[in-house]
Amino acid sequence: MRIKHLGHVVLYVKDLPTSVQFYADVLGLSTYGEIFHGRAALLTSGRTHHELLLIEVGDAPGPPRGRRIGLYHIGWCIGDTTEQLVRAKKELEEREIPIEGMSDHVITHSLYIRDPDGNELELYVDRPDYDWKNDREWIDDPVRPLHL
């Protein structure tokens, strides 16, 4: 067997309408449909039927912070120019969404935020000028500070 690509991520959320609104307003995802009698929503960027499935569980503990086993963050590609990332940063700041980090990964430039349930999201742009297929030098120094 060989994986073709990552198809989707499923997150449990406290309040479905709040999370759907966040992913729609902030990330621009569209609701493809609701399932489980309205207790879950399929969201898509338009690439496929859904990249994200949100399932409402009500009041429950959120994801732990710090060192732990399990999901660290979800990376969302938002383009391929640093200018697109600068615009995203400005938009986040205007919405008063805290930016928890900014990283230059050599092959990508990234911003880090959290969704309403505390899940960490990486918003990144690919660097089209970096040939990651043939140049693996970035692996030796994969994270640098990013200054936008």
pLDDT tens, residue by residue, 69-105: 999 999 999 999 999 999 999 999 999 999 999 999 9
Range of the domain at 29: 8-59
Burial of 29 (0-12, 13-18, 19+ CB in 10 A): buried
Contact by Cβ (8 Å): 74, 63:
no
Is the pLDDT reported for residue 19 higher than 90? yes
CA terminus-to-terminus distance, the chain: 41
Residues 80 and 130 in one domain: yes
Task: Tell me the whole-structure pTM to 2 decimals.
Answer: 0.93
Residues 49 and 85 in one domain: no
What CATH number does residue 32 fall under? Answer: 3.10.180.10
Q: Is residue 47 part of a domain?
A: yes
Residues 54 and 83 in one domain: no
